[in-house]
Amino acid sequence: MTLPPKAARKQAELAVPLIRQLEEAVSQGHPADQTLRRYYREHAEFGSRDRRFFSALVFSWFRWRGWLAPLEPARCAFAYLLDAMEPHPTATLLAKQGGFSRLNPQPAGVMTVEEKAKHAGHWLGTPPPAIEQLVPAWLPAQLCVPNDTEPGTHRRQCIKAFQIRPSTWIRVERDARERVSASLARHAIPAAAHPQIAGAIRLRGSPDLERLSTEVPFEIQDLASQCVGWICAPARGEHWWDVCAGAGGKSLHLADLMEQQGTILATDVRAGSLDALRQRAQGRRRNMIACCAWDGTRNPGPRDPGIPGHAPGQCFDGVLIDAPCSGIGTWARNPDARWRTTERDIAQRRIVQEQLLLAGADKVRRGGRLVYAVCTLTEAETQSVITRFLGARLDFQLEPTPHPLTGRSAPGQVWIWPWEADSNGMFIARMQRTAAP
C-alpha cells in the first residue's frame, strides 16, 4: 500500500509506546480492545487509515508475542508481517529502525504456522521457535483431549487454530435471506452460506456491517454460538430461561427458532448487558423476551423466591446456561486474552459453573431440557463439570443430539473445534430431566 512518508513516520513513532501501554493494561487484566478504543477517543486526529493499522499491529503483536517479546520496533514490524498479506510502509520503517532492513522482511500472512516459525527464527537469528511458546506454559495440560486423539497432536492443533482469526459470521432469518444476499452482492462482500446450519452466513474480509445493518436485518453471531441455539432446539410455544443472557445473542436466536411463539426469561448479573438486549429485542420486535438482573451464585434467602418476576416452583421447558468461563475458545479473535488468563481463572470459573448448573436444574420441568455451553477448551470447565453434575443430580441424563455441523448423532456432548468450523471453540452438553430422580 502507499502512505505518505510523514504519515508513516508518525505511525512508527507511536507504535511502540502504544503497544507498551496496551501491554500494561493487559497485565492488569484489561482487554486490549477496550484500551484501544479509549486510545482512539483520546486521539481524535487519527483517521480510519491510522486506526486500521494500529488495530492490526496491536492484535498481531499479542498473537505472536510469545515468539517476539521483548518489545522493540523491529519485533513490532515482524509481528505485523506475520499476519500481513501485503507490505506496509510503517512496518518497513520499524524494521529499518531496528537495523533489520537488511533481511528484507516480507509479509507472511499466507504461510502456515510452521513456515512462520522458520521466518521468525530467520528474522531473529535463532532456531525456529516452538509452537507451544505462543500460549502460556500452563495451557497444554489444561486442554481437553478427545479419547481418539494423540494428545500432543491435538494440543498443537488447538494452538495453531489460535493463530488464525476466524471469519465473521452473521445469522439471518428465513424471510430475510434473499434480501440479505442481494445486499451483500450489491456491496461486493464475499459471503457463503453454511451448508448445514440454516441462516448462518460467513463473510470474508472486514466488511462495513454497520452500513449493511441499515439496509437489511441480521445478527452478528459466531457460528459456534449459533450451534448452541440449534442444540437447545426449542419448540413453538415453550417457556425457556436463558440464565447468562449477556447482550442476548442466544436469547434472540431461541426466539427466532420458536417463531416468536412462547416466552423467554433472559437473566444476567450485568444489568448493562440486559439493557443492550432490551434494545436489540425491541429493534427486532421480539416481545416474547423478558429481562431481569439475577445473580445465580447467591444463595436465595428465606424472603428471596429466587428469580425476580418468576413464581417459586414454576418450571421451564428448557434452561440454557451459557456459563462464564476462561474463554480459551475465543483466543483466535482475542489474542491478548491468552496473556491475561491464568489457571486460577479456570478454577474460579468452574465453581461458578457448578453453582449455575445446580441453580438452573431445579427450574427444569420433568422431561424438560438443560443445556450447558462454554466457549472454552479445558477439561476442567467442560466434561469434568458435566460428570460432577450428573453424579450429583441423578434426575438428569445426557440427551443425544444431532451435531449441528454434520447432522450426525452425538451422545449429548458436542465439541465445536475452531479448525472444523472457522469459528470460536465451544463445548455444549444437552441433558434431560427424567420423570423421577
CA 263/CA 247 separation, integer angstroms:
17
99 neighbors 75 (Cβ within 8 angstroms): no
What is residue 437's predicted lDDT score, i.e. its pLDDT?
53
Give the DSSP H/E element, type plus range, for residue 176: none
* pLDDT, tens only, 404-421: 999 999 999 999 999 999
What is residue 302's predicted lDDT score, i.e. its pLDDT?
36
pTM above 0.85, yes or no: yes
Per-residue pLDDT for 128 more than 90?
Answer: yes
Residue range 251-258: mean pLDDT, rounded: 95
For the chain, domains (ranges, CATH) are 5-134 (1.10.940), 168-220 (3.30.70.1170), 223-433 (3.40.50.150)
What is residue 55's predicted lDDT score, i.e. its pLDDT?
96
Which are the contacts of 386, defined by CB distance < 8 A and separation ≥ 6? 372, 398, 413, 429, 431
For the chain, what is the mean pLDDT? Answer: 93
Which are the contacts of 77, defined by CB distance < 8 A and separation ≥ 6? 91, 92, 94, 95, 98, 100, 105
Q: What is the 3-state secondary structure (H, E, C) of 317-380?
A: EEEEEECCCCCHHHCCCCHHHHHCCCHHHHHHHHHHHHHHHHHHHCCEEEEEEEEEEECCCECC
C-alpha cell at 342: 491464568
What is residue 310's predicted lDDT score, i.e. its pLDDT?
65
* pLDDT, tens only, 13-70: 999 999 999 999 999 999 999 999 999 999 999 999 999 999 999 999 999 999 999 9
Residue 220 pairs in a beta bridge with: 170
Q: ∠ at Cα 129 (125, 133), nearest 5°? A: 140
Which are the contacts of 250, defined by CB distance < 8 A and separation ≥ 6? 225, 228, 229, 242, 320, 322
Residue 176 CB-density burial (10 A; 0-12 exposed, 13-18 middle, 19+ buried): middle
Per-residue pLDDT for 305 more than 50?
Answer: no
Per-residue pLDDT for 361 more than 80?
Answer: yes
CA 419/CA 83 separation, integer angstroms:
18
Share of the chain above pLDDT 90, in %: 83
CA 6/CA 12 separation, integer angstroms:
10
pLDDT band at 299 (very low <50, low <70, confident <90, very high): low
Residue 6 pairs in a beta bridge with: none
